[in-house]
Amino acid sequence: MQFGSRRKKLNTDIQTELYGHPLQFYGQPPLENISLTEFETFAVERLKLLKTIENLGVSYVKQSEQYSQKLQSEIKNLNFPYRPEADDRKIQTGPTEYEKRRKDHISHFILRLAYCQTEDLRRWFIQQEVDLFRYRFNHLHPTQKLEFLHKNSLQYDTVSAEEKVILKDKLVNSSYAVSGITVEGQDFYKVPFQDALDLVRTRKVYLKAGYVYIPHQDIVTIVLNDFRTRLSKALALTARSLPAVHSDERLQPLLNHLSHAYVGQDYSIQKNVGKISLEQIDSLSVKSFPLCMRQLHQSLRENHHLRHGGRMQYGLFLKGIGLSLEQAMQFWRSEFVKGKVDADKLEHSSSPESCSTLCLVLFYWR
């Protein structure tokens, strides 16, 4: 697969430009040839990383200690860049780190091709990439953060010492995690308020005359907004080039597969089907059933009757825990017999209860 130029190798200057810093805005596309095997491997592994970020965002508070530990472990396992050292200017001395940055760079652009096709795909891709960028930026050394800001022309006006003294009380009262002792010892940036709407919305900064005063540790919010804007525009531009990309019969199937791929565990394989017996249901209902299913089971055992909605829910639940078709039919028949339905007439009964439930069993267990 070729990106842009026909050069076989990146020269030293371009290597330094692309991979000289552990973090980037992905403004420059890759300029080298890669095999289709490497193309697919890079893309799948980055997709696994983004899926992990999505799942962690649901299970944990973003940027919490547990969130960061699990994300760091996944980044490390997939050989993407993580936790760079403070002195990281000569990547030639660490070829392993160079390969990680190269993989990160190329895989990002591959997924751009796959996830620029629809609005929903673009929205999902942007959110996961922003979360990944936030994690990486927050774990940069302070000197690397300043270097990144300068490299990407994010040189916001620094508040002078005199102005900090004048605004000291307001900065302390309005800025998150800032005390009177540290105001003089840290930088504040004066930024147009429209570039920091998230901080304004949550009242974490001092707002005056159309500008907000942001402490150094909160500058990540501004950088994220910039990254989100750039990535959104880049995806829109990438979408325009899709007809040319899809004309390549080697790439179109790969990109379509990536945009619909699920890289987690395959839950369609029902390993426990038929392994739950009728004798186990009562004991399992006490110690293992969710509360709603436990209540339905108890009500069925006590009254030998459930309303239609309850029968629908409980019937599907029994199938889900591995009850076989034969066991399900036996289970429901035994309850009907204990209730109002005569055993001899069960097979020919017109009772709504028996008919609807047996039809449900036959349909969902087929």
pLDDT digits (tens, 9 = 90+) for 219-264: 888 899 889 999 999 999 999 988 887 777 787 778 877 877 645 5
Task: Indicate whether 33 belongs to any domain.
Answer: yes
Sheet of 188-192: strand order equals 157-158, 188-192, 211-215, 206-208
Residue 341 is predicted with a pLDDT of 59
Mean pLDDT to the nearest integer, 84-110: 72
Answer yes or no: is pLDDT of 269 > 90. Answer: no
Task: Indicate whether 99 belongs to any domain.
Answer: yes
> Are both 290 and 314 inside the same structural domain?
yes
Average pLDDT, the chain: 79
> For residue 94, what pLDDT band results from cuts at 50, 70 and 90?
very low
* More confidently predicted of 288 and 264: 288
Alpha carbons 67 and 74: distance in angstroms, whole number: 11
Answer yes or no: is pLDDT of 85 > 70. Answer: no
CA–CA distances in Å: residue 348 to residues 183, 341, 354, 358, 361 = 84, 11, 10, 12, 16
Answer yes or no: is pLDDT of 354 > 70. Answer: no
Residue 321 is predicted with a pLDDT of 83
Task: Indicate whether 7 belongs to any domain.
Answer: no
Contacts of 114 (CB under 8 A, 6+ apart): 43, 121, 255, 256, 258, 259
Structural domains of the chain, count? 3
Answer yes or no: is pLDDT of 357 > 70. Answer: no
> Are both 53 and 111 inside the same structural domain?
yes
> Are both 138 and 190 inside the same structural domain?
no
Task: Indicate whether 45 belongs to any domain.
Answer: yes
What is the pTM (predicted TM-score) of this model?
0.63
> For residue 43, what pLDDT band results from cuts at 50, 70 and 90?
very high
What value does the CA radius of gyration of the chain take, rounded to a whole number of Å?
Answer: 29
Answer yes or no: is pLDDT of 129 > 90. Answer: yes
Query: Strand pairing partners for 157?
Result: 190
> Are both 65 and 118 inside the same structural domain?
yes
> Are both 190 and 74 inside the same structural domain?
no
* More confidently predicted of 201 and 49: 49
Task: Indicate whether 273 belongs to any domain.
Answer: no
Residue 274 is predicted with a pLDDT of 47
Mean pLDDT to the nearest integer, 64-92: 76
> Are both 49 and 145 inside the same structural domain?
yes
CA–CA distances in Å: residue 150 to residues 142, 146, 153, 223, 259 = 13, 6, 5, 12, 35
> Are both 86 and 16 inside the same structural domain?
yes
Structural domain of 323: 278-364
> Are both 235 and 113 inside the same structural domain?
yes
> Are both 323 and 297 inside the same structural domain?
yes
Nearest Cα neighbor of 81 from 129, 130, 22, 39 is: 22
> Are both 97 and 126 inside the same structural domain?
yes
Mean pLDDT to the nearest integer, 89-112: 78
> Are both 42 and 171 inside the same structural domain?
no
Which tens digits make up the pLDDT trace of 303-344?
Answer: 877 887 788 888 888 888 888 878 888 888 888 777 665 555
> Are both 230 and 118 inside the same structural domain?
yes
